[in-house]
């Protein structure tokens, strides 16, 4: 079920230097209407409209594709909690903005991006040629019933320059921005150019590692879309064996993750938003890499490698980076992202550290709940827990949300899934 909000026509603006319209060819006012998608089937049926909007968004990453988001929801979503905000042109119904959101469970529910911990970049989608799209999206998000009852919007992993940052600027109520994860980024250049950026001793070592790969006769094969499922099964098996006895992301070992990854990447490979590469030594696959792609960015998401490569003293990071550089060559992409994580081996290539943002938004009447959540985000979780345990704080929540003034039930962790 969804409700519709219509926004008055918005005059277009013209670019200051070129004299051309910042909107599409039509320069007249554009009326838009917003709805909220709450049903799984409706979300699934949005694939074509979503892909059309995605192609008109300048800041999107692979994690905003419909294939990724819908697959994540099928594997990780909670029935009844989908809240995808949609903005369409009234004249022809064309989708001009979307916010892929859901209502998280917990004592203090939040409205958050779909994708959860598996997603390195979160964002909304906004048609750059429709000036009324972003204001309408902000207004529709602010009108969500959950926000009027006290929920806080918590948008994680917002990349600098993302459309969500402009949403923050348009927000009518209390708002805060905090740092989130660090991602390391390189310019999208051929690997020889990346080597030239290094100091001389390090560049010499990098060239030696590249020559070692070639001497061993390791070749790369891009897996066609109809073979992706089998290649991903092999990737996950190699990944599991590679990390036996060492720290590994536990979720990567679950059947739920395998189902999500297989379903998402099949669709993304077919649309050109993912590439699975097999590395072969003779006829044997010794490594498999998954790289996710968007118009301006590529990012190595997950890989698995046979221990044989270590015994051959092949540098796996160099092998993967060369493949990522090849995928970006001549495509117009500007960023080769090493995605989240500040591991030492990534710094060998002198990447730039880019800090994602975390955006907190609320209605004015829910400002105390935003400050409470901000206390966690700002590293003051213990103080926030003590505040939550006060009777007056529980009574305040009761007045804001209409729910019971629950008694304290113990401390809440400060990990990424806290509510």
Residue 341 lies in a domain: no
Query: Distance between CA 411 and CA 398 in Å, rounded?
Result: 19
- Domain of residue 295, residue span: 189-333
Q: Considering the entire predicted model, what is its pTM? A: 0.84
Residue 417 lies in a domain: no
152 and 293 share a domain?
Answer: no
380 and 308 share a domain?
Answer: no
153 and 205 share a domain?
Answer: no
175 and 200 share a domain?
Answer: no
Residue 263 lies in a domain: yes
158 and 250 share a domain?
Answer: no
pLDDT of residue 11: 37
Spatial CA neighbour of 295 closest among 86, 64, 132: 64
205 and 292 share a domain?
Answer: yes
137 and 23 share a domain?
Answer: yes
Q: What Rg, from alpha-carbon coordinates, does the chain have?
A: 23
Residue 414 lies in a domain: no
If one counts every other C-beta atom within 10 angstroms of the C-beta of residue 288, the result is 25
Beta strands in 139-263 (DSSP E): 152-158, 175-187, 218-222
Q: Are strands 274-281 and 95-99 parallel, antiparallel or unpaired?
A: unpaired
Written as tens digits, the pLDDT of the chain (419 aa) is: 455 555 555 433 322 322 322 333 334 568 999 999 999 999 999 999 999 999 999 899 999 999 999 999 999 999 999 999 999 999 999 999 999 999 998 877 899 999 999 999 999 999 999 999 999 999 999 999 998 788 999 999 999 999 999 999 999 999 999 999 999 999 999 999 999 999 999 999 999 999 999 999 999 999 999 999 999 999 999 999 988 877 778 889 899 999 999 999 999 999 999 999 999 999 999 999 999 999 999 999 999 999 999 999 999 999 999 999 999 888 999 999 999 987 788 888 999 999 999 999 999 888 888 888 888 787 644 454 555 555 555 555 555 444 444 333 222 222 222 22
pLDDT of residue 412: 24
Query: CA 339, 72, 232, 274 torsion: positive or negative?
Result: negative
274 and 155 share a domain?
Answer: no
Burial of 13 (0-12, 13-18, 19+ CB in 10 A): exposed
Residue 107 lies in a domain: yes
3-state SS assignment for residue 50: helix
Number of domains in the chain: 2
137 and 206 share a domain?
Answer: no
CATH of the domain at 226: 3.40.630.30
Residue 98 lies in a domain: yes
36 and 125 share a domain?
Answer: yes
The phi, psi pair for 328, rounded to 5°, reads -90, -15
């Amino acid at each position: 079920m969804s409700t519709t909000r219509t926004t008055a026509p918005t005059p277009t603006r013209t670019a200051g230097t070129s004299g051309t319209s910042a909107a599409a060819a039509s320069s007249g006012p554009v009326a838009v209407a917003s709805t909220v998608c709450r049903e799984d089937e409706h979300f699934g049926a949005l694939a074509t409209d979503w892909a059309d909007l995605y192609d008109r968004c300048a800041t999107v990453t692979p994690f905003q594709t419909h294939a990724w988001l819908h697959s994540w929801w099928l594997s990780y979503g909670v029935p009844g909690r989908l809240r995808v905000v949609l903005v369409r042109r009234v004249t022809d119904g064309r989708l001009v903005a979307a916010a892929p959101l859901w209502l998280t469970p917990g004592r203090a529910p939040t409205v958050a991006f779909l994708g959860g911990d598996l997603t390195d970049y979160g964002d909304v989608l906004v048609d750059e040629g429709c000036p009324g799209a972003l204001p309408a999206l902000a207004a529709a998000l602010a009108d969500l019933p959950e926000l009027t009852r006290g929920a806080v919007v918590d948008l994680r992993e917002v990349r600098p320059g993302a459309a969500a940052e402009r949403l923050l600027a348009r927000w009518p109520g209390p708002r805060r921005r905090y740092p989130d994860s660090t991602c390391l980024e390189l310019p999208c250049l051929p690997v020889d150019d990346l080597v030239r950026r290094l100091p001389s001793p390090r560049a010499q070592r990098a060239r030696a590692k590249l020559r070692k790969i070639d001497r061993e006769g390791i070749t790369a094969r891009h897996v066609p879309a109809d073979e992706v499922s089998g290649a991903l099964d092999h990737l996950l098996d190699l990944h599991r064996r590679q990390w036996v006895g060492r720290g590994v992301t536990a979720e990567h070992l679950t059947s739920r993750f395998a189902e999500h990854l297989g379903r998402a990447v099949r669709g993304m490979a077919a649309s050109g938003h993912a590439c699975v590469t097999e590395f072969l030594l003779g006829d044997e696959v010794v490594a498999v890499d998954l790289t996710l792609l968007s118009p301006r960015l590529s990012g190595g998401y997950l890989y698995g490698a046979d221990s044989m490569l270590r015994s051959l003293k092949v540098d796996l990071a160099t092998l993967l980076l060369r493949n990522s550089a090849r995928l970006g060559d001549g495509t117009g992409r500007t960023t080769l992202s090493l995605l989240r994580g500040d591991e030492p081996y990534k710094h060998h290539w002198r990447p730039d550290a880019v800090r994602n943002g975390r955006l907190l938004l609320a209605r004015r009447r829910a400002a105390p709940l935003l400050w409470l959540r901000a206390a966690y985000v700002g590293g003051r979780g213990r103080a926030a827990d003590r505040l939550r345990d006060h009777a007056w704080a529980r009574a305040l929540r009761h007045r804001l949300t209409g729910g019971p003034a629950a008694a304290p039930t113990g401390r809440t962790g400060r990990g990424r899934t806290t509510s």
